Amino acid sequence: MPKTTKKSDTTLLGEKSGLYKLYETDQVITWCAGCGNYGIQNALKRALTLENFDIKDVLFVFDIGCNGNGSDKIGGYTFHGLHGRTIPAASGASLANPKLKVISSGGDGASMSEGINHLVHAVRSNYPMMFIHHNNLNYALTTGQASATTKRGFPMNSSPDGVIIDPINPTEFVLNLNPTFVARSFSGDIKHMTKIMRQALKHKGFAYVEILQVCPTYNKATPQKWYLDRVKYLEDLKEYKPNNLEKAKKYSHDMENEIYLGVFYKDEKQPNFYERLEYRKNLQTSPVEEVQAYPIKELLKEFT
Amino acid sequence: MQRISLKMAGESGMGLLSTGQILSRAMKKLGFYIVSDREYPSLIKGGYSCMQIDFSDEKIHSLSTGTDVIVAFDRHGLLEYIDTLKDGGILIHGYERHNLIPALKEKIEKKNLKVIYLPARELAFALGGDELMVNMILLGILWKVLGLDYTDLEAQVSIQFASKPKLLEIDLKCIKAGYEAKETDGVSMAVKKPAQVPDTILIDGTRSICLGAIQAGVRCFFAYPMSPASGILTYLAAKSHETGMVIKQAEDEITAIQMTIGAMFMGTRSFTSTSGGGYDLMTETISLSGMTETPLVVVIGQRPGPATGLPTWTCQGDLNLAMHSSHGEFPRVVIGCSDPTSSYELMQHAFNIAEKYQVPVIVLTEKVVLESHLTVAPFQENLIPIERGLVTDPAELNALTNSDRFKITPDGVSKRWLPGTSPAYYYGNSDEHLESGVLTEEADTVKAMVEKRMKKTETIQQALPDPQIYGDEKGADISFVGWGSTKNAVLDAINSAKNEGVKINYLHYDYVYPLKKDAAVRFFENNNNVHLVEGNFEGQLGKLIEHATEKKFKGKYLKYNGRPFFVDDILQYAKNN
């Protein structure tokens, strides 16, 4: 067999720079220096480019928070909604037009507090969309209150004596919801995030991606170095395959010493919500293309 | 004009609804005009409930308070509604132990009622039926008492139970036993069949809203159940195979409306429905629609509040809620449905307005409108063209720039195109923004953008149709102003009063907000005895009109006991004022 050399991401991005450029804007960024959002947005642009998404193929739906403040700093159609509600808005959009890739982004509030019910039911419903959970262990835009992922004992703006309740481990939580795609990455590793996001973009159901995100301003507890000392990669485990929920839960559990990153679980066979609508099987169109006066004559018959 | 009012009363779960349906459909086929509604408690079995059917050889729109015939299915039915019978009215029942109720005897004598009693339970068992067949025996008696032909009822029952031939056989036996019972001898209302059978449909507001939505091109529907709006979810889900509409019962009301706004932003037509309490949860998203100029349509099926209130009863108490809900200032439209036809048509207009002006539209309806069945002219297709106000021409789409999306224009309305259709993308930003959607906090721009959006209120107000006047335009003895279901009782009162030489006219608002105030001013100027009629405590429309027109109502007829306005309510009020 002739040997093919695989092009590096950098080479490919160079070749596709025209596409990549579309996601760039001239807007002044308002994130703090050292914020994890720079890396996350960069990885997302790379992943979209490498997967050949034009800006016309994507809808970004943002929550309120620091990451949402980037909603007008990226090229493309965006919807910057209400706090805690990015998932339901995005899921409605994804059902209206499954031909566009809907990428929803939210922080700890949208994922684990005010919006946790939406996350639970979106996982259950397996909507055709991707969700990026920016887990920076606090509410930064409101100046550093505890979130549901803040570690116990750490003093925050709203809990000066230290948080007295235990945090939720988001990836472990989602793995308990019978999901179809769960992954975790780290804002300090653009290459890894890009790899994870590319897989999430290809997933046809609900893709949950947790990003452990540094917050140099309000999260002094787990800075960049803290993560670098602890992150491990599932990819490095020869025996690990993302097809076993119990094993996935086991590897996702530790958030103190060995924090695993990678795709924990993936089930490509489960049809997404849209595909489960048997009665739409024969329709080639999506709801955005179907707005026209539907006949009611037949339906009226039972009232005559 | 002959108008007859019937009540079927008994415990919930006794088959009142299906019996009432058979009866009203059989009457409709004979050419009668019908209004029917159900009173029932918020539980599944037990408790008393009642189905009222008014019918006439002329068009009618509302129910009356006095009853000509009561069919009581059990003890509850006998006792709870007997007071509504007119003197000399007819009471049909099958309750064996009726002799043990002294109060019943007293009332029968005092009101001089004609009582037809048949041991219906016993008879039903003897004919091979069960407890539920009591309905059919009593229905047979009723049909005989009305003086109608057996075959007309038989035909309708045969249609209703066509798929259950065994049941049908027993049903027909029971009906015949009732119809031929000698106990009916000498009691006949000798109802005259209409000479002609008009082309009508018999339909309720719930299904009319749904058909309006289907005709308007709605392709996604998201909702969380809440009485009295749950029927919309049920019907749309039941018809999804025919329509192909995407239906999702959401995990809560916030989700339902967020999914709706997401689907509308993406560019299909979608809506959600709820009642006042569920709408409370949705209000933040109404504001989001205002800020991002994303079209949105929400149906509120009103029931009395506050809090859980009276889940299965009716009111018009949520007008203020619809007009004032949500933080911040933004344009919106509030519409009120009054009957099946208006529900069907206003749903279509709601979508056109929401999309053309890129605003939230709140469609108010009421328990009594959602659940009352009326005979109306068959709904027309393609009567109201779909108007979306979208840029769809490929050349124009290619020539767009990002800032066209929220461009400041004389009428406040900017171009809108769907995500993915143009290289000129935009930001639907809930933060205050520039014309392109990019966030801004710059004072002059903020001011300009607020003014741009608020300008749309004026634009819409001018575009909305005027309220409708029923009766003569001027010179009435008494005039009413109202919205929603009150129209039905007033229309019947106008006709009734005319026969007695009393002139009533009525100004009805389908489009309640933004208020077409000039029409109200003219109405006040042309009539000198103008009263408000409204189903709430505060007179919410009344206050809006008085504030906008600086005119005062002579009186306000307000009802807030969970019941709708009946035709005799209006006639009595007119007599006293």
Residue B228 covered by a domain: yes
User: In terms of domains, do B313 and B168 share one?
Assistant: no
Q: Is B265 on the interface with A (CB under 8 A)?
A: yes
Q: Min CA distance, A172 vs chain B (Å)? A: 22
CA distance B54 to chain A (A): 18
Domain of residue B456 covers: 394-463
| One-letter amino acid for residue B296 of the chain | L
Residue A2 — pLDDT band, cuts 50, 70, 90? low
- B71 located within any domain: yes
Q: What is the pLDDT of residues A78-102, one digit of tens each?
A: 999 999 999 999 999 999 999 999 9
Cβ–Cβ below 8 Å for A71 and B425: no
Per the CB < 8 Å rule, is B426 touching A85?
A: no
- B405-412: average pLDDT: 98
Judge if B215 and B364 occupy the same domain: yes
Q: Are B167 and B161 in contact (CB under 8 A)?
A: yes
CATH of A32-303, picked from 3.10.180.10, 3.40.50.970, 3.40.228.10, 3.10.129.10, is 3.40.50.970
Instruction: Specify whether B242 is located in the same domain as B312.
Output: yes
For A198-236, letters b (16+ CB in 10 Å) and e give bbbbebbbbbbbbbbbbbebbbeebeeeebeebbeebee
Q: Is B31 on the interface with A (CB under 8 A)?
A: no
pLDDT of A20 strictly over 70: yes
Average pLDDT (A145-155) is 96
Residue B555 lies in a domain: yes
Q: Could you say which of A79, A273, A291 has the minimum Cβ distance to residue B268? A: A291
Say what the pLDDT of residue A129 is: 98
* Chain A (10-29) residues lying within 8 Å, Cβ to Cβ, of chain B: 27
Checking if the pLDDT of A3 tops 80, the result is no
SS3 A181: strand
Q: What is the pLDDT of residue B454?
A: 98
Partner residue opposite A85 with nearest CB, options B251, B254, B268: B254
Q: Is the pLDDT of residue B43 over 80?
A: no
Q: Is residue B114 part of a domain?
A: yes
Is the minimum CB–CB distance between B215 and chain A shorter than 8 Å? yes
B242–A59 C-beta distance less than 8 A? no
pLDDT at B12 over 90: no
**Lowest mean pLDDT segment, chosen from B121-125, B227-231, B263-267, B460-464:** B121-125
Closest CA–CA distance from residue A118 to any residue of chain B (Å): 7
What CATH number has the domain bearing residue B19?
Answer: 3.40.920.10
Please report how the helices B567-576 and B486-499 are oriented relative to each other, as an axis angle in degrees rounded to 10.
60
> Which residue from A59, A90, A299 is facing B239, i.e. has the nearest CB?
A299
Q: How far is B195 from B571, CA to CA, in rounded Å? A: 29
Pairwise CB contact (< 8 Å): B217 & A290: yes
Q: Is A76 on the interface with B (CB under 8 A)?
A: yes
Res B302 pLDDT > 80: yes
**Integer angstrom CA distances of residue B438 from A27, B208, B406, B410:** 8, 41, 10, 21
Q: What is the DSSP letter of B352?
A: H
Put simply, the answer to whether B217 touches A89 (Cβ < 8 Å) is no
Q: What is the pLDDT of residues A238-290, one digit of tens each?
A: 999 999 999 999 999 999 999 999 999 999 999 999 999 999 999 999 999 99
One domain, residues B174 and B244: no
Partner-chain contact A287 B261, CB within 8 Å:
no
Are B415 and B495 found together in one domain?
no
Q: Residue B249 and residue B232: Cα distance in Å, rounded?
A: 11
CB pairs under 8 A between A and B: 191
Mean pLDDT of all residues in B364-372: 98
- CB atoms B263 and A77 under 8 Å: no
CA distance B300 to B295: 17
Q: Do A69 and B382 touch (CB under 8 A)?
A: no
User: pLDDT at residue B431 above 70?
Assistant: yes
Kindly indicate the confidence band of residue A1, based on its pLDDT and cuts at 50, 70 and 90.
low
| Co-location of B234 and B336 in the same domain | yes
Q: Are residues B146 and B233 in the same domain?
A: no
Residue B449 is assigned to a structural domain of this protein: yes
Checking if the pLDDT of B463 tops 80, the result is yes
Q: Residues with Cβ < 8 Å from B548, sequence gap 6 or more?
A: B515, B517, B520
pLDDT band at B74 (very low <50, low <70, confident <90, very high): confident
A114 contacts in B (CB within 8 Å)? none
Mean pLDDT along residues B106-118? 95
Predicted confidence at residue B13, as pLDDT, reads 75
One-letter amino acid for residue B197 of the chain: V
Q: Tell me the average pLDDT of chain B.
A: 96
Residues B366 and B421 in one domain: no
Q: Which has more pLDDT, B333 or B73?
A: B333
- Residue that terminates a domain, selected from B376, B403, B427: B376
> Which of B203, B221, B268 to probe by mutation at the A interface, max A CB count within 10 Å?
B268
The average pLDDT across B282-298 equals 98
Q: pLDDT at residue A208 above 60? A: yes
Q: What is the mean pLDDT of residues A181-199?
A: 98
- Asked if residue B197 is part of any domain, the answer here is no
Same domain? For B247 and B123 the reply is: no
Same domain, B274 and B154: no
Cβ–Cβ below 8 Å for A80 and B211: no
Domain boundary among B184, B212, B230: B184
Q: Based on the fold, state whether residues B525 and B427 are members of the same structural domain.
A: no
Q: Closest approach of chain B CAs to the CA of A257, in angstroms?
A: 37
Q: Give per-residue pLDDT as tens, B227-271.
A: 999 999 999 999 999 999 999 999 999 999 999 999 999 999 999
State whether B360 and B412 are in the same domain.
no
* Chain B closest-CA separation from residue A262 CA (Å): 30
- Residue from the list B214, B258, B419 with its beta carbon closest to the beta carbon of A92: B258
Q: What is the value of ipTM here, to two decimals?
A: 0.97
Say whether pLDDT at B45 is over 80: no
- Total count of domains within chain B: 4
> What's the pLDDT score for residue B577?
95
Q: Confirm or reject contact between B252 and chain A (CB < 8 A).
A: yes
The answer for residues whose C-beta is within 8 angstroms of residue B440's C-beta and 6 or more apart is B432, B433, B434, B446, B449
User: B262, A93: Cβ pair inside 8 Å?
Assistant: yes
**A284 Cβ under 8 Å from any chain B Cβ:** no
Disruptive mutation site among A85, A103, A277 for chain B (greatest number of B CBs within 10 Å): A85
Counting every residue written for chain B, the total comes to 577
The last residue of one of the domains, among B463, B484, B500, is B463
Q: Among A220-224, B97-101, B187-191, B528-532, which stretch is predicted with the lowest mean pLDDT?
A: B97-101
Residue B368 lies in a domain: yes
Residue A297 in contact with partner chain B when CB distance is under 8 A: yes
Give the per-residue pLDDT at B7: 96
**Would you state the pLDDT for residue B18?**
87
Residues constituting chain A: 304
Residue B336 near residue B201, CB atoms below 8 Å: no
Q: Do B386 and A292 touch (CB under 8 A)?
A: yes
- For residue B294, the chain A residue with the least C-alpha distance is A79
| Yes or no, beta carbons of A80 and B428 under 8 Å apart | yes
Whether B364 is covered by a domain: the verdict is yes
**Among all chains, which residue has been given the structure tokens 């219906």?**
B120
Q: What is the domain-level CATH number for residue B475?
A: 3.40.50.920
